[in-house]
Amino acid sequence: MAFFNQWWIQASTDFPYTPHPTPFFLISQIRRSAASIAANIAEGYGRKTRGEYIQFLYIAQGSLKELETHLLLSIRVEIQTPQAIQPVLNQCDLVGKILSSLIRALENRK
């Protein structure tokens, strides 16, 4: 879980403060979707059954895709540069692979 917490901190702090409402809204969404990934993993882990845990891991994957979309939009509206966002997108890819592997392992367990 420490990996996800550290990753969330980096993903959510790489954006400058701006008084303009549109970028602020997008930055807020980036921070929320990044936090949601770790929160859903933790909540699923605390559930009673493996099936519930897997369901929350799928929700975390959805939040990850939401984060990736917001990051790409931040480039499009020129809040951040592609060079600043690419390392975070690379980490998103890694987190996605970790989640997929964990889901697959849990689904294959009897």
Give residue 9's pLDDT: 55
Give residue 36's pLDDT: 95
Give residue 28's pLDDT: 85
Domain membership of residue 29 as a residue range: 2-9+21-108
Give residue 1's pLDDT: 54
CATH number at residue 27: 1.20.1440.60
Establish if 15 belongs to a structural domain: no
Establish if 37 belongs to a structural domain: yes
Grouped pLDDT means (10 residues each) for the chain, 110 residues: 56 55 75 93 94 97 95 87 92 96 91
> How is residue 36 written in tokens?
């949601």
Give residue 7's pLDDT: 54
Establish if 14 belongs to a structural domain: no
Establish if 51 belongs to a structural domain: yes
Establish if 79 belongs to a structural domain: yes
Beta-carbon contacts of residue 14 (< 8 Å; ≥ 6 apart): 80, 84, 85, 88
Separation of alpha carbons 43 and 68, rounded Å: 22
Give residue 11's pLDDT: 57
Give how many domains the chain has, as a whole number.
Answer: 1
